[in-house]
Structure 1
Amino acid sequence: MTTRPLDYSFTAPIEKDGAFATFVTVPGSAELLGTRRPVRIGGTIDGHPFTATLMPSGAGPHWLPIKQALCKLIGKSQAGTEVSFHLAERLS
C-alpha cells in the first residue's frame, strides 16, 4: 500500500496503563482513519519525527504507544504530561 498524506494535529496527556507502558489516546482517530483496525502512521511528537502503529482501543479511538527512546528524546514520560503530535502520513 502506498502512503497517504494526513494532516492532523492534537495534544494529549501521556497515559500509563494496560498493554502499553506509555501511550496517548488519539481523539477522533476512528473517524479520521475510517477504521478501528491497527494503522501505521508517521509524523512528529513535540517536533521530533517518529513512526508508530496506532492500536484500536476497542471503545472507539486508537491508542498511540510511545517508545521509551522517544520519551527520553522529548523529556516527557510522566502520566498526565501533555504532548503535541502531528500525524503527517498513513503508512498502512
Structure 2
Amino acid sequence: MTKTADKIRFKANLSRPASPKSATWTFLVLPASASTKLPTRSMTSVEGTLNGHPFQATLEPDGQASHWLKVPRALREAAGAAVGDSVTLTIAPVGQEPEPKVPADLRQALAADPAAGATWADITPRARRDWIAWITSGKQAQTRGKRLAVAIDKLASGQRRACCFDRSGIYGKGFGAPQAAA
C-alpha cells in the first residue's frame, strides 16, 4: 500500500443488491468525504483493507460524484462482516492500474483487426477500461454490437480514447450503485 498520508479511512454499511435476489455479493457506497480524496470521480482502482483484511478492487462511479465498491462474498466472509454491518475501510489508489477483463466478443474483434489490436496494445489500462465500459454499457444487444463495431473502427484508425464517454456518470447518469435490498 502507499504511504500513510495517502490512505483514506472511513466506515460504510454493507448492503445486498435488490436484484438479482440470488446475489451472494454485497456492496457499499463510499461517503462523499472519502470519495473526494480520490484522483477521479470515475472508475479508479484501489488497494486497502476491509475490517483489516487486504483487497484490491476497482471502485465504480455512482453518478453522484462518488463511488461504490462491490464486495465479493469471499472478501466479506474473510473480513468477518455481514449484510447490514458497518465496516471499516482503509484505501489508497493503486500505483499501477490493473488490466481490465476483456469480453470475449471484443477480444475476438481485436484479434480479427490487426490495426485495432495494435492501438489496443498501445493504450493504457484505464483507456482500455473506458472502451470496455462504453461498449458494454449499452442496454440492448443491438446497441452493444453497434458500439463494438464503432470501437474497432475507431481503434483501427488510431483513436485512443472512447469519444464522448462520461466516465463518472454525472452528466449522463450512465452509472449508479445497485439498489439495496430492503
The question of a shared fold, defined as TM-score above 0.5 by the shorter chain, is answered with yes
Structure 2 length normalisation: TM-score? 0.43
Question: Is 1:85 aligned to 2:96, yes or no?
Answer: no
Aligned counterparts, 1:34-53, within 5 A: 34-53=39-58
Alignment partner of 1:58: what SS?
A: coil
Q: Which amino acid aligns with 1:11?
A: K
RMSD over aligned CA atoms reads 2.2
Name the amino acid aligned to 1:90. Answer: P
Amino acid at match of 2:17: D
Give the direction of change, closer, same or farther, for the CA distance of 1:25–1:48 in structure 2 (3 Å limit): same
Of structures 1 and 2, the one with the larger relative CO (CA 8 A, separation 6+) is: 1
Distance 1:44 1:30, change over 3 A: closer
> Match of 1:17?
17
Q: Which moved more, 1:12-21 or 1:26-35?
A: 12-21
Unaligned segments of structure 2, at least 5 residues:
98-182
Structure holding more strand per residue: 1
Match of 1:26 in 2: 30
TM-score, normalisation: structure 1: 0.80
- The structure-2 alpha-carbon separation of the partners of 1:35 and 1:44, relative to structure 1 and needing over 3 Å to count, comes to same
Alignment size in residue pairs: 88
Larger radius of gyration: 2
**What is the percentage of aligned positions where both structures have the same residue?**
31
Deviating above 6 A after TM superposition, structure 1's stretches of 4 or more consecutive aligned residues are none
